[in-house]
């Protein structure tokens, strides 16, 4: 169930229904306010006359300067939260029209001066802000009165009674600037900002967006481009863009605000708390939950020393934290926090306050995910009732809660109620945001699931396909200016849409075979989406003629290299050298994002639907098939823990056959363990062929070549080692070519180019401790490969023993045609400790990133491993080459990387993305083909396999055929797959 709220707003009455609700009240309100308004206007006119004789900051009295500072910092930023209005002002204060102004002079010995025009305007704004949560009509009236001080163009009637749209550009054209000082410009800017917030919280996002954008020009021209007010407007625009689903633009605005605020962070603590909260919720929306929780904690830590920790505004921060905890699936912590907030709200505001409804809505969503469905409906119905009375049905808060109710009814099989709620929510969201907003896509996704459960498969298909395509559009829109980490988080949140679609296809393909084409096309667009996006962008940069762009790229790589060094340091050393890893990471992310923004060349490489079923089929001949393996959880009304595997088998005619295994959990656990044990203990395996392949034989019989794109557990088994009942292995009868995606199939060239150069690292001197076993077989391996290469006219550069070190590896690996590495590999699956250094990497960072937990061991690696206990600092030349460091290499021209080492194919498996380890790192660096191992390998058998491979490759120039012949030759000496089946080739 999608979150009900992100930025939470106070209760208010709708503008659209204002006249109906306040018809009689309007005149009464005017009469009640008449005296004080007339008095303020009269004083304002007198003040404006006085200012004609001397305008400017020079004439500020001490008290006026204090007032300006107060109003343009504390109060000006009180509205930066946008939907929270007076975020840190105390609404418990009994402020009347001139209370705050008078209070400024309470401790002064001089007589109370007459208020200036700008002072009256600021006071109107304070009254309006404090009225926002009680009476929105009164709030807008006060904002209009503030503007009337300067413009006097019937603004009150236009804005308050006629639902007018404020045109700042038109109004400012009529300003008499000779009579204005900077205070007045601040007063105008603050008032216009409050009107923009009023629009925002009314759901009138386009009005608010336009007004804020015109306000930026106004502030730059009249106040300054680095003023606090413009920082506030940037923050508000960030919120608007976030509400509209424009996440990249939202972050840009918030970063602009941050750059100004941080210059005065000591005096603007509350303002930074507001900004941190908004950034936290933006990160929550884009799936960056760790960053979100860090930012919300930052906001809470700042705020708790500045405001009442039992107050409404502080509670909103805690509520947002609960929302993030729910997103992280930390349900118990979220429930504890929500329960505490609920009690506080009941005691202070009762049970009819909007904040109380916010808590109920999020609690309902939490209980849905926790399986406490009996608690959900009353919470949602009560929240809806409050929202309807406080807002109106057009407000996003109402429509999102209504969508949550529709999902609840779907889950409880109350389909009629579900459709009624979801269709109404869809209508309201479309009215507010249009059809490209994330909330609109989410409600359509829920409707697709509902249609499926109702048995309307045709409608469900149309809805699912539409949502998938819209999400692909959204990814194409956001990915270019995201860093790889941000892409990963965003994809992690978006991927569920496609997994639901796959489950739908698996459930309905027999009656609707055209679904298979839709599924295959979606798989072509999304398989390896993160790897494909990042590697293509890098290739585009390196192939570009834009030298400035290449320089930026070099700067980014250099920053990543500095990060790799920092990751190898202990916390003590980082502190000693004053290195801030978080700051380095942020710099690297920003450099990476800017690379995407700067290059127009990347538009084409970011297209996800550049390949199709028809295109893949056109690359096949009658003796070939392409197979996409897809891993996904079972879904009907909600995701289950049962994993399924689908197999899409495509032939040259474009026909797609389909196979389904519903025992995915067993394939990944019990059966995978049996496969590995049979390999490890050299036991005859009579089961794995049936477990993992036999059901495909009807579709592959008679085919000579199978292009295979694997997923899930298939990344950890070598299908060539599967033995058929007739005693033959798969490799005996068919050529199986492993690809990241079948979109990568290429027509085989008849002219196979010979290799020109090989770079080899092998037989490293790990050290004298003996903790790392020496590899004498690799010395012979390197010598034989070198001799073969030289005999065939191939240039060879090799580094052995002490020279096979990390420094040489990084400095010498400059896109060689072939890179051969003969050493130990490693992957750390589980890291128990939280402090210290492991394998040369600070543990807390290694836990976060699997590319820091996998790598290669080079010369002197044992010293780094010894340093685990002493927690000493390691350098960038510590003998441990992590996959993270490999990723930063330039292998753009490298045709082949051979990782002749143990377990170099291991890593963290992610559905649709393959293995996060050395394999991925070398692919990201640009390598065309990678040979790697899936289990510990025999030293002598490995050197024989590699020698045969290079011998055959030097003869033919066909690396795939050479690899196949090498494995076949090894089988003549060693029957068991343990000796010859560990290595796989990924093209």
Rounded to whole angstroms, the Cα distance separating 917 from 905 reads 7
Mean pLDDT check: name the lowest of 342-346, 415-419, 547-551, 574-578.
574-578
Q: How many C-beta atoms lie closer than 10 Å to residue 446's C-beta?
A: 25
Same domain assignment for residues 584 and 692: no
Structural domain contains residue 485? no
Structural domain contains residue 358? no
Mean pLDDT check: name the lowest of 47-51, 91-95, 640-644.
91-95
Position 533 scores a pLDDT of 72
Structural domain contains residue 846? yes
Same domain assignment for residues 177 and 47: yes
Same domain assignment for residues 711 and 562: no
Same domain assignment for residues 839 and 979: yes
Same domain assignment for residues 922 and 972: yes
Q: Are 250 and 236 contacting, i.e. CB atoms less than 8 angstroms apart? A: no
212: pLDDT strictly greater than 70: yes
User: Which residues is 620 bridged to in the sheet?
Assistant: none
User: Which residues is 722 bridged to in the sheet?
Assistant: none
Dihedrals phi, psi of 972, to nearest 5 degrees? -70, -25
How much of the chain, in percent, has pLDDT values that exceed 70? 79
Q: Are 937 and 736 contacting, i.e. CB atoms less than 8 angstroms apart? A: no
Q: Are 200 and 175 contacting, i.e. CB atoms less than 8 angstroms apart? A: no
Structural domain contains residue 191? yes
Structural domain contains residue 588? yes
* Domain hosting residue 557, numbered range: 545-598
Same domain assignment for residues 591 and 622: no
Q: Which contiguous run of DSSP H or E holds residue 842? A: strand 841-842
Same domain assignment for residues 716 and 764: no
The larger pLDDT score, comparing residue 523 to residue 266, is at: 523
Q: For position 863, which CATH number holds? A: 3.40.50.1460
Q: Which of 239, 264, 289 delimits the end of a domain?
A: 264
Average pLDDT over residues 679-697: 93
Rounded to whole angstroms, the Cα distance separating 619 from 607 reads 20
Structural domain contains residue 20? no
Rounded to whole angstroms, the Cα distance separating 432 from 454 reads 28
CA distance readout (Å), 170 to 45, 121, 149, 160, 214: 22, 20, 16, 18, 10
Taking only the tens place, the pLDDT of each residue in 810-841 is 888 888 999 999 888 888 776 666 566 667 67
Position 752 scores a pLDDT of 52
pTM beyond 0.85: the answer is no
Give counts: helices (H), strands (E), the chain. Answer: 44, 18
Provide the token pair at 86. Answer: 């007076």
Residue among 87, 500, 664 nearest 320 (CA): 87
162: pLDDT strictly greater than 70: no
Q: Which of 19-28, 61-70, 714-723, 910-919 has the highest mean pLDDT?
A: 714-723
Mean pLDDT check: name the lowest of 379-388, 698-707, 858-867, 873-882.
873-882
Residue among 890, 819, 907, 619 nearest 737 (CA): 619
Taking only the tens place, the pLDDT of each residue in 422-447 is 999 999 888 877 787 788 899 999 99
Structural domain contains residue 500? no
Q: Which of 9-23, 44-58, 574-588 has the highest mean pLDDT?
A: 574-588
Structural domain contains residue 439? no
Dihedrals phi, psi of 251, to nearest 5 degrees? -65, -40
Question: Where does the pLDDT of residue 130 fall: very low under 50, low under 70, confident under 90, or very high at 90 and above?
Answer: low
Same domain assignment for residues 808 and 762: yes
Rg of the chain in Å (alpha carbons) = 33
Q: Which of 230, 264, 298 delimits the end of a domain?
A: 264
Average pLDDT score, the chain: 79
Taking only the tens place, the pLDDT of each residue in 609-659 is 778 999 999 999 999 999 999 999 999 888 898 999 999 999 999 999 999
Same domain assignment for residues 715 and 655: yes
Same domain assignment for residues 845 and 959: yes
Q: Which of 49-58, 248-257, 451-460, 828-837 has the highest mean pLDDT?
A: 451-460
Q: How many C-beta atoms lie closer than 10 Å to residue 387's C-beta?
A: 26
Q: Tally the C-alpha atoms within 13 A of residue 906's C-alpha that lie toward its C-beta.
A: 18
474: pLDDT strictly greater than 50: yes
* CA torsion, ordered 878, 883, 886, 892, to nearest 10 deg: 170
Rounded to whole angstroms, the Cα distance separating 326 from 329 reads 5
Q: Which of 744, 771, 787 delimits the end of a domain?
A: 744
Same domain assignment for residues 767 and 717: no
Same domain assignment for residues 727 and 815: no
Residue among 77, 11, 9 nearest 319 (CA): 9
Provide the token pair at 912. Answer: 């649709």
137: pLDDT strictly greater than 80: no
* Domain tally, the chain: 4
Residue among 402, 399, 482, 418 nearest 456 (CA): 418
Residue among 278, 219, 281, 221 nearest 253 (CA): 278
Encode 864-880: b = buried (16+ Cβ within 10 Å), e = exposed. bbebbeeeebbebbbbb
């Amino acid at each position: 169930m999608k979150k009900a709220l992100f930025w939470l707003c106070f209760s208010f009455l709708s503008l659209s229904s204002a006249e109906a609700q306040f018809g009689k009240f309007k005149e009464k309100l005017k009469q009640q306010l008449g005296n004080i308004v007339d008095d303020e206007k009269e004083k304002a006119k007198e003040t404006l006359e006085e200012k004609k004789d001397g305008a400017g900051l020079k004439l500020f009295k001490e008290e006026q300067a204090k007032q300006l500072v107060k109003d343009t910092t504390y109060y000006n930023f009180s509205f930066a939260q946008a939907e929270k209005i007076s975020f840190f002002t105390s609404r418990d204060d009994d402020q009347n029209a001139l209370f705050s102004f008078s209070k400024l002079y309470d401790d002064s010995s001089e007589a109370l001066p007459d208020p200036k025009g700008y002072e009256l305007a600021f006071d109107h704004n304070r009254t309006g802000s404090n009225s926002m949560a009680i009476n929105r009509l009164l709030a807008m009236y006060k904002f209009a009165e503030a503007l009337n001080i300067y413009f006097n163009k019937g603004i009150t009637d236009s804005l308050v009674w006629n639902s007018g749209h404020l045109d700042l550009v038109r109004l400012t054209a009529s300003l008499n600037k000779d009579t204005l000082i900077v205070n007045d410009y601040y007063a105008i800017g603050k008032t216009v900002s409050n009107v923009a917030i009023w629009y925002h919280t009314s759901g009138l996002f386009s009005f608010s967006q336009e007004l804020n954008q015109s306000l930026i020009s106004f502030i730059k021209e009249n106040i300054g481009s680095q003023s606090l007010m413009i920082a506030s407007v940037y923050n508000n625009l960030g919120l608007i863009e976030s509400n509209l689903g424009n996440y990249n633009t939202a972050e840009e605005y918030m970063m602009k605000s941050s750059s100004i605020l941080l210059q005065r962070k000591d005096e603007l603590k509350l303002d930074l708390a507001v900004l941190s909260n908004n950034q936290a919720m933006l990160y929550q929306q884009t799936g960056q939950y760790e960053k979100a929780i860090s930012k919300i904690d930052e906001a809470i830590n700042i705020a708790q020393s500045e405001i009442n920790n039992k107050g409404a505004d502080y509670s909103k921060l805690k509520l947002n934290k609960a929302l993030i905890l729910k997103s992280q699936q930390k349900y118990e912590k979220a429930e504890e926090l929500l329960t505490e907030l609920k009690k506080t709200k009941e005691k202070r505001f009762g049970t009819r306050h909007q904040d109380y409804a916010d808590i109920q809505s999020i609690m309902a969503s939490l209980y849905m995910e926790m399986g406490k469905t009996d608690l959900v409906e009353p919470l949602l119905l009560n929240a809806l009732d409050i929202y309807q009375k406080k807002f109106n049905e057009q407000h996003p808060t109402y429509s999102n809660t209504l969508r949550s109710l529709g999902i609840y009814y779907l889950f409880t099989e109350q389909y009629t109620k579900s459709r009624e709620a979801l269709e109404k929510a869809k209508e309201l969201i479309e009215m507010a945001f249009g059809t490209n907003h994330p909330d609109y896509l989410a409600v359509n996704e829920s409707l697709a699931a509902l249609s499926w459960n109702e048995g309307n498969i045709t409608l469900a298909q149309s809805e699912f396909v539409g949502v998938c395509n819209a999400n692909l559009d959204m990814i194409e829109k956001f990915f270019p200016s995201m860093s790889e980490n941000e892409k990963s988080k965003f994809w992690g949140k978006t991927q569920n849409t496609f997994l639901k679609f796959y489950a739908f296809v698996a459930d309905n393909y027999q009656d609707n075979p055209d679904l298979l084409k839709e599924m295959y096309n979606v798989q072509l667009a999304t398989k390896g989406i993160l790897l494909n996006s990042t590697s293509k962008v890098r290739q585009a940069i390196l192939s570009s003629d834009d030298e400035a762009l290449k320089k930026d790229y070099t700067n980014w790589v250099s920053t990543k290299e500095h990060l790799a060094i920092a990751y190898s340091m202990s916390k003590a050393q980082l502190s000693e050298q004053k290195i801030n890893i978080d700051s380095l990471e942020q710099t690297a992310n920003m450099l990476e994002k800017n690379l995407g923004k700067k290059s127009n060349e990347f538009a084409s490489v970011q297209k996800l639907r550049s390949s199709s079923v028809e295109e893949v089929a056109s690359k096949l001949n009658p003796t070939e098939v392409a197979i996409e393996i897809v891993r996904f959880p079972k879904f009907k009304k909600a995701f289950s823990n049962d994993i399924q595997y689908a197999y899409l088998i495509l032939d040259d005619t474009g026909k797609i056959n389909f196979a389904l295994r519903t025992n995915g959990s067993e394939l990944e656990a019990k059966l995978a363990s049996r496969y590995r044990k049979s390999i490890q203990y050299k036991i005859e395996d009579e089961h794995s062929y049936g477990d993992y392949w036999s059901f495909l034989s009807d579709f592959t019989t008679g085919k000579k070549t199978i292009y295979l794109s694997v997923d899930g557990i298939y990344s950890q088994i070598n299908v060539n080692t599967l033995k058929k009942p007739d005693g033959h292995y798969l490799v005996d009868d068919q050529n199986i070519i492993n690809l990241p995606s079948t979109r990568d199939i290429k027509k085989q060239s008849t002219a196979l180019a010979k290799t020109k150069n090989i770079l080899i690292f092998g037989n490293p001197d790990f050290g004298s401790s003996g903790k790392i076993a020496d590899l004498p077989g690799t010395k012979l391996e390197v010598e034989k490969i070198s001799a073969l290469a030289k005999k065939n006219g191939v240039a060879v550069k090799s580094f052995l023993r002490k020279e096979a070190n990390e420094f040489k590896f990084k400095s010498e690996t400059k896109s060689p045609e072939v890179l051969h590495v003969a050493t130990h590999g490693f992957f750390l699956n589980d890291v128990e400790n939280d402090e210290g250094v492991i394998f040369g990497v600070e543990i807390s960072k290694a836990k976060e990133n699997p590319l820091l937990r996998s790598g290669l061991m080079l010369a002197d690696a044992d010293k780094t491993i010894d340093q685990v206990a002493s927690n000493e600092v390691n350098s960038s030349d510590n003998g441990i080459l992590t996959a993270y460091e490999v990723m930063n290499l330039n292998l753009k021209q490298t045709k082949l990387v051979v990782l002749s080492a143990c377990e170099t194919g291991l890593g963290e498996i992610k559905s649709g993305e393959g293995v996060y380890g050395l394999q991925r790192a070398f692919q990201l660096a640009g390598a065309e083909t990678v040979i790697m191992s899936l289990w510990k390998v025999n030293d002598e058998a490995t050197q024989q396999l590699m020698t045969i491979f290079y011998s055959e490759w030097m003869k033919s120039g066909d690396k795939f055929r050479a690899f196949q012949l090498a494995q076949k030759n090894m089988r003549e000496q060693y029957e068991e797959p343990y000796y010859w089946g560990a290595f796989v080739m990924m093209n």
